[in-house]
Amino acid sequence: MAYRKIVDNVCEVGAIDWNRRSFDELVPLHEGTSYNSYLIKGSEKIALIDTVDPKMLPVLVDNLKEAGVDRIDYVISNHAEQDHSGSLPDVLKLYPGAKVVTNPKCKAFLQDLLLLKEEDFITINDNDRISLGDKTLRFIIFPWVHWPETMLTYLEEDKILFSCDLFGSHVADSRLFATKEDEILVYEGALRYFSEIMYPFRDNIRNQFSKVLELDIKYIAPSHGQVYENPDFIINCYKEWTSPEVKNKAVIVYNSMHGSTEKMVQFLTSELTKRNITVVPFHLSVTDIGKLAMEVTDAATVVVGSSQVLGGMHPSVAYAVYFYNLLRPKTKFVSVIGSFGWGGKMLEHIQSMLYNLKAEFITPVIAKGYPKDDDFKNLEKLADSIFENHKKIGVLK
C-alpha cells in the first residue's frame, strides 16, 4: 500500500483491510474496511494521528518509511480501541522519543489495554493546542463516539478534522477521497458503520454536534473509510441518523421452521403495503445482521416473528432480538407474531429481552399451528393498529 496525500505535508499512512469480512465478529463487511493513520509534517515537529490494527503494522511501517519519516515527535491517540491504538507500542519502539498525546481518560485506557507507561504520555485537555511549527493541532474532547475517552483533532491551518470513528465508514478503496459518484456506496458503508457502532450513542453525538458545526472544515478525515472533501455530505447524514425522528417503516424480523410464521409474515407484509407503510422483512436464515441494524435505525415499528422451539423463540430470533435491544433503538411500536404447537413462553421471553425499548407494545398475534381465519383477521387488526399509530405520530399522512 502507498501513502496518500491529503494536502502538502499531510497524508494518510494507514492500512486498507481489503479482506476483512466481519467487524467486531458481529457485522458482515462486504467491502472490507480501513484503519487510517495520518502523518502531519510541521516545520518543527512531526505528528502521527492514530495507528492501525496490530495485524496491519507492517503496512504502516512501510508507509512511514516510504514517506521518509525518520522521526516522530507526537502520536496523537484520538481513541484507545485497538484497531487504532494496537500498533502504538511498536511505533513507540520504532521511533524512540515519540510521545503519546491524548486526554486523561484515553491515557488510562491505553495504560490498561496496552501497558503503556506514564512517561510515554503528554496529557492534553479540551481545546488544548500543540504546535508543529507551521501547523497547529487542536484537541476537541468528544466523549462517547463510541467509547468514553474519544476525542477529535483539528488541524487549524489546513482545516482538516481528524474525526476518529465519528463519520467513519466500512469502505476499502485505494482512492483516498470519497467521490460524488460513489456517494451511494459511501452512504451504505457509513450507515453500516453508524448503525452498529454509533447508533446507541446518537443522543451523545447530537448533543455535542455543535462542536463540529462551529469548525471551519475543508476535509473530514475519519479513522475508517475515505476522506470527505465534501464534509456537508457526511455531516448531513449524521444530522439525520442521530435525530430522534422515525420513518413510516415497519421492519419484520423473523424465522419460520415449517412455514406457518412465514405465511403470517407474508400476509402482514401485504397488509402493511396496502396501507402505504414501507415494510422490510428479514428472514433470519438469510439475513445480514448489519443490514438489519441499518434498517431498524429509523423504523417506527418493529415486529418480531418466530416459530416456537422447545418452549421458547427460535435461537436465531433470540440472537437478533438481543442485538436489536443492545442498539437501544428509537422504535415507537413493537409487536410479536408467530406460531406454536403446544405450551411454552415464547412471547414472554421476547418481551423480556426488549428491556431497552421505550416502545408501545401492540397486541401480538400468535397462531396455534398454521394460521387460520381468526389469525389473519388479527393480523389485519395489527396492520390497522400500526397504520393508526404511524398516523398518530405524524410519519404517515
What residue ranges bind ligand FEO (CB under 6 A)?
79, 81, 83-84, 146, 165, 223-224
Q: Which is nearer to ligand FEO, 186 or 264 (CB)?
A: 186
Q: Name which of 227, 174, 155, 220 is nearest 9 in CA terms.
A: 155
Cα 241 to Cα 235: distance, rounded to the nearest angstrom: 10
Q: Which is nearer to ligand FEO, 102 or 378 (CB)?
A: 102
CB of 165 to ligand FEO, least distance (A): 4
CB of 240 to ligand FEO, least distance (A): 22
How many other C-beta atoms are found inside a 10 Å radius of the C-beta of residue 22? 10
CB 223 within 8 A of CB 168: yes
Sign of CA dihedral 26, 27, 28, 31: negative
Helix, coil or strand: residue 330? coil
CB of 351 to ligand FEO, least distance (A): 32
Q: Which is nearer to ligand FEO, 195 or 223 (CB)?
A: 223
Helix, coil or strand: residue 21? coil
Cα 17 to Cα 286: distance, rounded to the nearest angstrom: 25
CA distances for 44 relative to 25, 72, 134, 137, 175, angstroms: 42, 11, 8, 13, 29
CB of 49 to ligand FEO, least distance (A): 13
Q: Which is nearer to ligand FEO, 81 or 298 (CB)?
A: 81
Residue nearest to ligand FEO (CB): 81
Place of cell 475543508: 218
Q: Which is nearer to ligand FEO, 83 or 188 (CB)?
A: 83
Q: Name which of 153, 130, 177, 120 is nearest 50 in CA terms.
A: 153
CB of 169 to ligand FEO, least distance (A): 11
Burial of 78 (0-12, 13-18, 19+ CB in 10 A): buried
Q: Which is nearer to ligand FEO, 84 or 390 (CB)?
A: 84
Place of cell 501497558: 115
Provide the edge-to-edge strand list for the sheet that holds 46-49. 4-7, 10-12, 38-41, 46-49, 74-76, 99-102, 121-123
Cα 95 to Cα 2: distance, rounded to the nearest angstrom: 20
Q: Which is nearer to ligand FEO, 78 or 269 (CB)?
A: 78
CB of 90 to ligand FEO, least distance (A): 18
Q: Which is nearer to ligand FEO, 124 or 164 (CB)?
A: 164
Q: Which is nearer to ligand FEO, 57 or 252 (CB)?
A: 57
CB of 83 to ligand FEO, least distance (A): 4
C-alpha cell at 4: 496518500
CB of 348 to ligand FEO, least distance (A): 35
